[in-house]
Amino acid sequence: MTGIRALPYAFPLRRNELALIVIDMQRDFVEPGGFGESLGNDVSRLFAIVPAVKRLIEGCRAAGVPVIHTQECHQPDLSDLPAAKRHRGNPRLRIGDAGPMGRILIAGEPGTAILDDLAPLPGELVIEKPGKGAFYATSLGEELKRRRLTQLIFAGVTTEVCVQTTMREANDRGHECLLAEDATESYFPEFKAATLAMIRAQGAIVGWTASVDAILEALDA
């Protein structure tokens, strides 16, 4: 068994059971003029991780590790959007409203698209999710079972919301989870730091964390 250099200790890699899940690397969250910026966030923090995410995706593809992508989005009629989510806070634009990149977080709209540099290849699984976690109201759990994938590497945004939520959901379903530290980001640096600490606390209570370099080094071994 090959291990990945990680915290709080080496991740016990089983290559034939491993997949990469890239969470919500969408234009509306990462690019200027999107939904994330309309909420008052500095999206440059998220955009800065694109090269690391791309390198991780390409390294996993080269190693034969399946790559799974998620998109947070809703149906055009908003039938899967709870009022509690749409009306939370006091944003300038709300989910479903017309924004600079089309209707915000609506399936098929330009802003909902995954960044071109990180776009899924034909045949790669793309999970459209209406919630923060990628298991809620999706086929992700069944797809992982069918493919016998028990170990999951995570990348994407934001660290403390959709990434952490999905990791916790995966952990409860028996998956071993590893977060790529430099391929995830938050609008709030202190939130990312706290999330990394929570994930690996108490002997990897939720999962492990490691650098992209350490992950690719193990996959190349």
- To which residue do tokens 């055009």 refer? 76
Active-site residue (options: 60, 73, 162, 177): 162
Structure tokens at 119: 């776009």
Give me the half-sphere count of Cα atoms (radius 13 Å) on the Cβ side of residue 139: 9
Structure tokens at 115: 């960044």
Question: Exposure of 97 by Cβ count < 10 A (0-12 exposed, 13-18 middle, 19+ buried)?
Answer: middle
User: Which one-letter amino acid corresponds to residue 20?
Assistant: L
Structure tokens at 7: 């915290």
Active site residue 192: no
Active site residue 73: no
Q: What is the DSSP letter of 115?
A: P
Active site residue 60: no
Active-site residue (options: 54, 60, 73, 129): 129
Rounded Cα distance, 96 and 112, in Å: 11
Integer-rounded Cα radius of gyration of the chain: 17
Active-site residue (options: 24, 28, 73, 177): 24
Longest CA pairwise span in the chain (Å): 51
3-state secondary structure of 170: helix
The reply to whether omega before 8 is within 30° of 0 (cis) is yes
**Sign of the dihedral defined by the CA atoms of residues 105, 103, 25, 31, in that order:** negative
| Catalytic residue numbers, as ranges | 24, 129, 162
